[in-house]
Structure 1
Amino acid sequence: MLRYSLLTTLTLLAATSTTAVAASDTPLTQQLNDLKNFQVIAHRGASGHAPESTLAAYELAHEWGVDYLELDAQLSADGEVVIFHDGTLERTSDGEGHIHDYTLAELKALDTGSWFHEANPEYADTDFSGTQILTLNELFDHFGQTTRYYIETKSPDLNPGLEEALVERLEAYDMINEGRVLVQSFDQQSLLKLQALNPNLPLIQLLWYSPSEQNSEQLVEWQNTTPGPSEINDADFQAIAEYAAGIGTNAIYQGNEVIDAAFIRQAQANGLSVHVYTINEPDEMQRLMALGANGLFTDYPDRLLELVE
């Protein structure tokens, strides 16, 4: 009888343990675990091959099997979340002025594809002409949960209310609990606002290191989010890790290296994945992979995928 009771107890404990493991193995925890592995991040889609931030660029990257589709979120004048990098329209459309001064209908009337022909003649395609600006809803409707999304809150000071609108859409499409989204920003306050809106949303703190105006030999971070790479310490990384799952950083400034393997290892030791932007040449991709980066942003995901596979 005692042996039977002991076996029953062990069986119940094993079942409870299995249930606990299964409960912790959610899509969101799986996504966070995956960040420890190498991630191929399609910068504004396959933007070296098709107009950036358009469905054509995202479809190509998705077809190739990237880990994340990267995009910039802004607000139209009537509060729609649109996918567009620049604060002004001139570079990648036939419009002019600030994007947030136009309604979605007005933005939809613009051609965001034709500019690509002159800039990238080797990839020119008449089908790109007349391409409309994308909304976040349209991107989610098109790809659903067949991929992951890496979204930047672009120029939050020019897009008041962006964080609330973004979280509302992420929740409506169940992108957070299903482990389908990272949100990045250079603006620490924007990230903290996002954390307050939904503490489960995984965040990435973007960093940009360049020489100080006062001392060209000293590197500084342009938003003063951290000290320069040579002065950064565990406490600095831990402060970011309190709200973020990783950092996105440049590796080079005007041909000079700004981070090294020790920087990457230190960030990782303090719980942060390290993603480097924007890397387009295979030699540099290989160098950063050898340094231990957890992922690279690239306009040419096909080149990076060849090295990863």
Structure 2
Amino acid sequence: MDVVRPQVVAHRGASHDNAEHTLRAYVAALDAGAEALECDVRLTADGHLVCVHDRDLRRTASTRTLVSNTELADLDQLDFHSWKNPWAELDDEAPDPDDQLDRVLTLRTLLEVVADYDRRVEVAIETKHPTRYGGLVERRLVDQLRHLGWDRAGSPARVMSFSWTGLQRVERLAPEVPLVMLVERARNWSMLRRMVGPDWLVGPGIKELTEHPRLGPRITRAGHDLHVWTVNSEEQLDLCLELGVKAVITDRPAYILDLLDTRESAAG
């Protein structure tokens, strides 16, 4: 049986080596050959979708500021890259800070980069919940996809969430956009399998797939393709290949692409 080569999706960009969710991280992922980019989105106080994972910025910008309480112009004054390499000033090989590459990244900017790229690149957008703005996040997201004509079949965009309600909103607003139901715990699948749409994709974590060997086959037997996060090692990739996973989300796109190329060369 032929092994299906999964799509390699850069998790928050090439975030193993670069500060996550910065344009620098996404450019590095594209340069490495990533076939898709993954991002998390949150809504600012003045209604902009920005690529940020946590509800506050303690981890990535050294401030307790909440994204939802802050306007974009204020976020734009923060340093989103130094946490990744705090000794950069002592490292002769560290790249110089760049306002274009290292500041807060809006979803609009990321989508424009993808739209203008010289090959097809897909984008997997995760909406974060709970949030004070509720369904406004999905409405703003669909507005941006519609602006690019990406709300129709064949769109390079797909929407992911751990929130079934959030995905339902997207399905109502843009029924042709692919949806990925993220699964946090293996035990949740028994309930989720009765709720997800028949053509929804399913996104379990690699840790759950590893610790619960029956989970992957149960999902695929129910008729859903697997998009797995966060796959960073050779062993994890091998498990995904055994399961016929359609997309692997990784912090290390260059490394995973190299492993896949090596396997294809050996098989050929």
TM-score range, shorter chain: 0.7 to 0.9
- CA separation of 1:141 and 1:258: change in aligned 2, threshold 3 A: same
Q: Secondary structure of the residue that 2:226 maps to in structure 1?
A: strand
* Residue type of the alignment partner of 1:297: I
| Contact 1:207 1:249 (8 Å CA) reproduced | yes
Structure 2: give runs of 5+ residues left out of the alignment: 262-268
| Aligned-pair CA distance for 1:238 | 5.9
Aligned to 2:148: 173
| Counterpart-to-counterpart distance in 1, 2:205 and 2:87 | 24
Aligned to 1:213: none
Q: CA offsets, 1:8-36, max 9 Å, x none?
A: xxxxxxxxxxxxxxxxxxxxxxxxxxxx8
- CA separation of 1:124 and 1:100: change in aligned 2, threshold 3 A: farther
Aligned to 1:240: 196
Matched, 1:152 2:123: no
TM-score of the two chains, using structure 2 as the length reference:
0.84
Decide which of 153, 166, 170 is 1:190's aligned counterpart.
Answer: 166
| Aligned-pair CA distance for 1:148 | 0.8
* Residue type of the alignment partner of 1:240: V
- CA separation of 1:123 and 1:279: change in aligned 2, threshold 3 A: farther
Decide which of 14, 36, 53 is 1:46's aligned counterpart.
Answer: 14
| Counterpart-to-counterpart distance in 1, 2:176 and 2:18 | 33
| Contact 1:246 1:271 (8 Å CA) reproduced | no
1:1-309 to 2 correspondence within 5 Å? 38-118=6-86, 125-128=94-97, 131-144=102-115, 146=117, 147-160=121-134, 161-177=136-152, 178-209=154-185, 220-221=187-188, 226-227=189-190, 237=193, 239-242=195-198, 244-252=199-207, 257-260=210-213, 262-309=214-261
- CA separation of 1:308 and 1:168: change in aligned 2, threshold 3 A: same
| Counterpart-to-counterpart distance in 2, 1:267 and 1:123 | 48
- CA separation of 1:128 and 1:283: change in aligned 2, threshold 3 A: farther
| Contact 2:114 2:122 (8 Å CA) reproduced | no
- CA separation of 1:265 and 1:101: change in aligned 2, threshold 3 A: same
| Counterpart-to-counterpart distance in 1, 2:93 and 2:194 | 46
- CA separation of 1:122 and 1:277: change in aligned 2, threshold 3 A: farther
| Aligned-pair CA distance for 1:124 | 7.5
Indicate the larger mover: 157-166 or 263-272: 263-272
| Counterpart-to-counterpart distance in 2, 1:248 and 1:122 | 38
* Residue type of the alignment partner of 1:220: R
| Aligned-pair CA distance for 1:58 | 0.4
* Residue type of the alignment partner of 2:239: R
TM-score of the two chains, using structure 1 as the length reference:
0.74
CA RMSD between the two structures: 2.5
| Counterpart-to-counterpart distance in 2, 1:102 and 1:123 | 35
- CA separation of 1:284 and 1:107: change in aligned 2, threshold 3 A: same
* Residue type of the alignment partner of 2:196: I
| Aligned-pair CA distance for 1:95 | 2.9
Indicate the larger mover: 275-284 or 42-51: 275-284
| Aligned-pair CA distance for 1:123 | 11
The structure number with the bigger radius of gyration is 1
| Aligned-pair CA distance for 1:122 | 8.9
| Contact 1:87 1:155 (8 Å CA) reproduced | no
Aligned residues with identical type, % of pairs: 28
| Counterpart-to-counterpart distance in 1, 2:226 and 2:241 | 11
